[in-house]
Amino acid sequence: MPVLSSDNKEHSSMSDSKGVPTGADKASEQAISIVQRGNLKTLESTLRKQWRLGQNIVLCWSSDERGVLVIFVPHYFLGNYCAVDDAPGGPEDNEHFIRKLISGGRHQTREELFDIAKRLGVSPTFIKLSTALSTEPRVVDAVEQVIKRYGLSYVESRAVLLFDIHEFSLFTPFEQASQLNSLSYSLNSAYNKLLGQGVEINFARTTTGDGYYVWNRNLHSFANQDLYYFMLLVLADNAVARAASRGNTVPVVRTAFHVGSHYELYQAEGVNPTVFSYIVGDVTIELARMVDLAQPHQILIGDFDCEVPHARDSASTLAPVLSTPSFVRNCNRELSTLEGIQLSNRPIRDVVCSLTSGDGELSDDPLPRRFRIVDKHGLSRYAYNLQIRIELEGERLALGLDAPQLPQRPRGESEDGQPSDPAEAEALFNDLAVLLQKRSQKSIQED
């Protein structure tokens, strides 16, 4: 499988199996003294031994005048700790404490580290170094990167994409390989095109077997918005490739975009942790359920709330919390960023995208059509349908599904979800009685 352009940066920001920084980090490595590089190498080597093929994980660390203090716990410890109810606020209080601990940076003061160890009921592990660890930001940053490879991270809010290849299992192995490679190229192409516009997506991906989860490693204020633009270009590149292809070499994709929480970890690969991270959590579960009922070519946007600051050139530091419709409208204000980008040697002249409204037109309707998705477990979530129009020189791309292709509100149900007359109500109750006798079935319909 080809390596993504941005994934190369992950290799460069990590260390090789001997703990020596590689790739693009050579430049920053030169700014770190030989002594401190020796400390990093010793730290990496010791952590690998204590990690024991994934048996233990690191929660946090602190500098010591003779080395580094770290808190190691068995991989099952966190689950057990969050399950007990002896915390002041019950199990939820313990879980909140752990999530806060493994969010963001892991560097703690000596006092904070010992307080954490006391609450967890564990003892810190001392790692002796040849000299005291520098407090320079670049050294602390390097230690953070090493520590995270041997631990577990929690992200409260991040945008994640899911590209799913429609009917992937029905293709021949050669066609499957070609389609994955084509989708991978579209990711690379979108990355390079945005980079040319001054927007850098430090993206990562994990395969689902018939597609990819994709997220922006950056967690700055505009990271979610940048990933939204990235999605638009990936889909546009895929559409252009499909138009020019023959056979089943370019995939038909179903796409979902959502913002939510997740855990991030590095799995064991042989005797070392991988340099690629994996994510799992509420956001990936929601995406999988959404795309499972999506139609070919459909683009679903989850129902979420997230902080979105004002324009990049704004002096305001406020970051209001926006719902999905407001998030999309906010992103649309900077769609001009994509103008001029070349698709199949033709520049983008204009981009219009919006959630499908009640009249089926692309508009800024504050109340677009919302769809209720019920999974096989009977659990439900909501999503919106995204439509995209891209004007190229001499051609127009229409991405996503139009209103007539979308599920409608069940017959006999008014806009407030109530039956329109008693006879229809009785029929609905009869249908409900039948459904209750069966296993919960998957469905998607207008809310």
Helix (H) or strand (E) holding 354: strand 346-355
Distances (CA, A) of 421 to 176, 214, 415, 424, 445: 51, 47, 13, 5, 20
pLDDT score of 305 = 94
Contacts of 351 (CB under 8 A, 6+ apart): 232, 335, 338, 339, 388, 389, 390, 391
Token duo for residue 362: 């692309």
pLDDT score of 412 = 53
Per-position pLDDT tens, the chain of length 447: 333 334 434 333 333 433 434 444 444 445 789 999 999 999 999 999 999 888 899 999 999 988 999 999 999 999 999 887 665 656 678 999 999 999 989 999 999 999 999 999 999 999 999 998 998 999 999 999 999 989 999 999 999 999 999 999 999 999 999 999 999 999 999 999 999 999 999 999 999 999 999 999 998 889 999 999 999 999 999 999 999 998 899 999 999 999 999 999 887 666 666 667 889 999 999 999 999 999 999 999 999 999 887 666 555 556 788 999 999 999 999 999 999 999 988 999 999 999 998 754 555 555 799 999 999 888 999 999 999 999 998 889 999 999 888 887 665 555 555 555 555 655 555 555 545 544 457 888 887
Distance, in Å, from the CA atom of 447 to the CA atom of 416, rounded to the nearest integer, reads: 9
pLDDT score of 307 = 86
Tokens 């892991």 label which residue? 106
Surface-to-core class of residue 133, CB atoms within 10 Å of its CB (0-12 exposed, 13-18 middle, 19+ buried): buried
Token duo for residue 162: 């899911």
pLDDT score of 53 = 83
pLDDT score of 6 = 41
| 360, amino acid identity | G
Distance, in Å, from the CA atom of 439 to the CA atom of 150, rounded to the nearest integer, reads: 42
Q: What architecture does CATH give domain 155-405?
A: 2-Layer Sandwich (3.30)
Work out the angle at residue 274's Cα, subtended by the Cα atoms of residues 268 and 279, and round it to the nearest 5 degrees: 85
Token duo for residue 420: 């329109």
- Write down the pTM of the prediction: 0.83
pLDDT score of 395 = 87
Our measurement of the distance from residue 109's CA atom to the centroid of its chain's CA atoms, rounded to an integer in Å, reads 30
What DSSP line would sit under 106-165, residue for residue? -B--HHHHHHHHHHHT---EEEE-SSPPP--HHHHHHHHHHHHHTBEEEEEEEEEEEEEE
Break the chain into its structural domains and give their ranges: 5-150, 155-405
pLDDT score of 21 = 43
